[in-house]
Amino acid sequence: MPSSALAASATPILPAEDSDPRDRRGRRHPLSCVILTGLCAVLAGARCLAAIGQWAANAPQHTLARLGARITDPALGTRQAPSPATIRRVLTALDPQTLTRLHTAEEIAVLVMDGKSLRGSATRTAAAAHLLQAMTPAGRTVAQVRVDDKASEMAAVADLLADVDITGCVISADALHTQLGTARWLVARGAEYLLTVKANQPTLLSQAKALPWAQAPVLEAAREHAHGRVEVRTAKVLTAPRIAFPHACQVMRIHRWVRESCTGRVRRSYAYLVTSLPAESVTAAELASLVRGHWGIEARHHIRDVSLGEDASRVRTGNAPQNMALLRDVAIGVLAGLGFASIPAAYRWVSYECFTRPLDLLRLP
């Protein structure tokens, strides 16, 4: 096991049995066992409900004992795994908010709002399931709601954060949520915002571009060489007393210079952001860190698609899409802390001992 594995892992905070959506009569397997089975299977590489059921059906007795599976023969101590039908039924009916509490509790200072379509869940007659999530930069999902489509995200912000105390929290979001009503609502709830400015707010974008950037010093610079390209980012920040946007205090401009190592092709782009944070309360480096945190969550969604096969998943019934997404997020958080060069490398390492390493990483006795 990598030296950092045990330090990075943590025992999940399991929900109380009274949050079990099943009728008490005939309930054979504890809710905690079903959830741990799903999480361990995803850590081992399961990409869908059927794969979770197959992992459980093949789990040896020592694994079932650590999962808390039901004892069927007290004399021999034989245990039985939850059936694929039980796993499917629980993950379809379970309130997704229950799984948001699987992560170790932490103080929330920054939340990233981002939406994601589960493209594999689309059918000829129904659109793909679309989720709006609020996550910490470390990848902990704090809240999640299912919406009709991307356009419905704007109206779902209040529902998403209704049960979250965002007082003193910085909310980061993409340009879809750069709306006057959203900004007012966040500040009224005691939060600050950092919102991307794009063409969906043409007046705001024009005002941001017209600021005297040539006279502004570069306050933050970063250089990265990865994935076959060199990227240089520079950031400038200006106060914006005349910006026509509620509670706006500063505007940030990020210049990205990217050169592809193989072709030598160079691309340049500018990104603009508006924030309610005043200059005296935040530095340019801190603002740049907030932006990187948002980009990190978008990169995590790419990992869910590529490494965990989320876009290929056809799960769409009930709460199953939300709950599978939450299990994947927890798994990525565990795998990212193992010290490997990539999530796929971490996945391969876990898969070599698929009935012990997932449980070890979760510190199950």
Cα dihedral sign, 108-339-329-355: negative
Largest Cα–Cα distance in the chain? 81
- Domain definitions of the chain by residue range: 5-95+319-361, 110-305
DSSP letter string, 43-84: HTT--SHHHHHHHHHH--HHHHHHHTPEEEETTTTEEEPPPH
Looking at per-residue confidence, does 219 or 249 come out higher?
249
Record the tokens describing residue 316, joined without a space: 């769409």
123 burial (CB, 10 Å; 0-12 / 13-18 / 19+) is: exposed
DSSP conformation letters of 191-239: -EEEEEE-TTSHHHHHHHHTS-GGGSPP-EEEEEEETTEEEEEEEEEEE
Residue 211: both structure tokens together = 């600021």
Q: What are 269-286's pLDDT values in tens digits?
A: 999 999 999 999 998 889
128 burial level (CB within 10 Å; 0-12, 13-18, 19+):
middle
pLDDT digits (tens, 9 = 90+) for 40-92: 999 999 999 999 999 999 999 999 999 999 999 999 999 999 999 999 999 99
Q: Note the pLDDT of residue 113.
A: 93
Counting residues of the chain whose pLDDT is more than 70, the rounded percentage is 89
Look at the alpha carbons of 45, 51, 54, 59 in this order and tell me if their dihedral is positive or negative.
Answer: positive
Q: How confident is the model over 353-360, as a mean pLDDT?
A: 97
Report how far residue 99's alpha carbon sits from residue 141's, in angstroms, rounded to the nearest whole number: 9
- Give the whole-angstrom CA distance, residue 210 versus residue 240: 11
**pLDDT above 90: percentage of residues in the chain:** 54
CB atoms within 10 A of CB 225: 11
CATH class of 110-305: alpha beta
Higher pLDDT, 298 or 336: 336
Question: Does 4 have pLDDT greater than 50?
Answer: no
* Cα–Cα distance, 187 to 167 (Å, whole number): 9
Which residues face 141 on adjacent strands? 135
DSSP 8-class letter at 128: P
Q: What is the C-alpha to C-alpha distance for residues 192 and 28, in angstroms, rounded to an integer?
A: 47
pTM: 0.80
